[in-house]
Amino acid sequence: MSQNSSKSDEHYRALSIFKEIGLISIGNKNKGISVVDTYTSDDVKKFLKNRSNVASQKKLRTISRYLLSASGHYQNLILYFSTLHTMDYTLPPMTTDIGSINPKKFKKDYEEHAKIAEKMDISCSFLEARITSYVDGVFYGFARPTKNGFYLQKLDPDYCKITFIDPDTGLLGYSFDFSYFNNNIAMLNSFPDYFREIYNRIKDNKSSTEKWERIESPLSVCLTTSFDFNPVPAFSSVFEGILDIADFKTLAKTKEELDNFMLLSQKIPMDSKEANKFLIDEDYVKTFHENLLDISPEQVGVSTGPMDITAVKFDKDTFDKNKVGQATTQFWDETGVSNLLFSANASTSSALKYSIGTDESDAFRLIKVIEKWCNSYIQATGNYRYMFKLNILPATKLNRNELIESALKLANSGMPVKNEIMALRGYSPNAALMNSYLENEILKLPDVLIPLSSAHTATPSDLNGRPKSNEEDLSDKGLQTRDNDSNEEE
């Protein structure tokens, strides 16, 4: 009994060494978790199906923000649409009765509109709002105008929701959850007086537990790329495609690692006469296993055991390495954006031009909402006899030169497009006025900078045929003709 017990103890002690060394060590020492691995395609489908649910909207925003930093394709897509338009604008008059215009007052009101638009600097102040509108699907903000500046304060979308439409402007309005300040009371001083007044009123009203309040102010800003009151990231429909790209990249990387992997197996000698008896001590097994593991590179695995190991070779040709490229192409196809815009192998194509035109049209929808808000703000915060409309041109980084050429042709036909040409050249209305005054009235550059004489600048009396040739270029007969003035008209 004791002899069998002793053998059993020896047997289990021998096996315990394999538990301690893990039998085989093939792990990737540098393996980490990517942010795109946090959510699966099934998660995305579930969130999109329940997009009216506030919790699903939050999850989709979280995924979108993750992908913005984790996926270069997604970042390119967001920045492409959000920065596509140059935000060039003009200030055409809204007055229809030409006969009643007071020229002096008309000019003054135009200059006031130009100053306000200049201070707003819409290309800069709305940049974050445009990016956020595509990343989160919605931007909630509040304008903070000062004497010399203007900026939009971004609000946390987790504490905001679209709740109404302004009947006067048609712009979306939102409500804010003032319980936000319960855990962020220090942030209250960074909010405008409008918010502090509402918070104090809610705090003093002990009889009500309602923390949501409509933000009914001409300074409130609500922009969305969604088509309803349930804003989700603008490109949430392509999240699955991005996850597919990540999966195929992981598969390709794993395949390459397996192709370059080697397994070292050291077999423990066994007693041929007695079953389950090792010929070397377990301490020796552990020591040699750990020594071999320490000197082996990461691509080499170490196995220690009493059994023979059969190698299984993975054929390099069994995996299609182009799967990543196919998934990437499918991603751009799903977005509706031509992959030629972001491809190193881009080739010219007429289809590319029309594809870009569709992108410009889609992105311009958000720009027109910004335009409507700007005009609403200007009208609500000023007192003018004559109104001018801030008109954002459909100019993008890709069609600007084309629009300039078109405007110049119209100008040659007498069309009133000079302000548009200056805007397309990057001049705001105020900058155009000030630069014209500086150059013409102060520096008097038209009198100082005299163009060189040419066929375009010469008067008819100056045009006496082509310029004279150099004497060394003339033949003897040509020199004689010049000396005799034979070519002079009578």
Instruction: With beta carbons less than 8 A apart as the criterion, state whether 315 and 287 touch.
Output: no
User: How are strands ordered across the β-sheet holding 262-267?
Assistant: 24-25, 300-305, 262-267
pLDDT of 318 reads 47
**In the predicted model, what is the mean pLDDT of residues 391-414?**
94
Residue 15, SS3 per DSSP: helix
The two tokens of residue 40 are: 């699966």
Q: Which residues pair with 161 in a beta bridge?
A: 175
pLDDT of 239 reads 85
Residue 221 scores a pLDDT above 90: yes
Q: Which residues pair with 270 in a beta bridge?
A: 278
Radius of gyration of the chain (CA): 37
pLDDT of 300 reads 62
pLDDT of 45 reads 87
pLDDT digits (tens, 9 = 90+) for 268-282: 777 667 666 666 676
Give the pairing of strands 300-305 and 262-267: parallel
Give the pairing of strands 300-305 and 24-25: antiparallel
Give the whole-angstrom CA distance, residue 378 versus residue 22: 72
Calculate ∠ Cα 308-309-312, nearest 5°. Answer: 155
Instruction: With beta carbons less than 8 A apart as the criterion, state whether 191 and 156 touch.
Output: no
pLDDT of 35 reads 41
The two tokens of residue 164 are: 């109404």
pLDDT of 244 reads 74
Backbone phi, then psi, for 223, in 5-degree steps? -120, 140
pLDDT of 319 reads 47
**Of 24-28, 74-78, 314-318, 453-457, which range is least confident?**
24-28
pLDDT of 324 reads 52
Q: Measuring CA to CA, which residue among 130, 113, 190, 122 is closest to residue 150? A: 122
Residue 243 scores a pLDDT above 80: no
Calculate ∠ Cα 409-414-419, nearest 5°. Answer: 75
Instruction: With beta carbons less than 8 A apart as the criterion, state whether 391 and 368 touch.
Output: no
Q: Measuring CA to CA, which residue among 223, 234, 248 is closest to residue 173? A: 223
Instruction: With beta carbons less than 8 A apart as the criterion, state whether 41 and 240 touch.
Output: yes
**In the predicted model, what is the mean pLDDT of residues 231-236?**
92
Give the whole-angstrom CA distance, residue 269 versus residue 266: 9
pTM over 0.85: no
Q: Measuring CA to CA, which residue among 434, 458, 438, 460 is closest to residue 448? A: 438
Helix pair 350-381, 103-120: axis angle to 10 deg: 110
Mean pLDDT of the chain: 80
pLDDT of 83 reads 95
The two tokens of residue 12 are: 């289990």
pLDDT of 356 reads 83
Number of C-beta neighbours around residue 398 at 10 A: 15
Highest-scoring range by mean pLDDT, 125-129, 204-208, 239-243, 308-312:
125-129
266 vs 108, which has greater pLDDT? 108
**Of 74-88, 125-139, 299-313, which range is least confident?**
299-313
Residue 27's pLDDT band (boundaries 50, 70, 90)?
very low
pLDDT digits (tens, 9 = 90+) for 150-174: 999 999 999 999 999 999 999 999 9
35 vs 397, which has greater pLDDT? 397
DSSP per-residue codes, 278-329: BSS-HHHHHHHHHHHHHHS-TTEEEEEESS-----PPPGGGS-TTHHHHHHH
Residue 102's pLDDT band (boundaries 50, 70, 90)?
very high
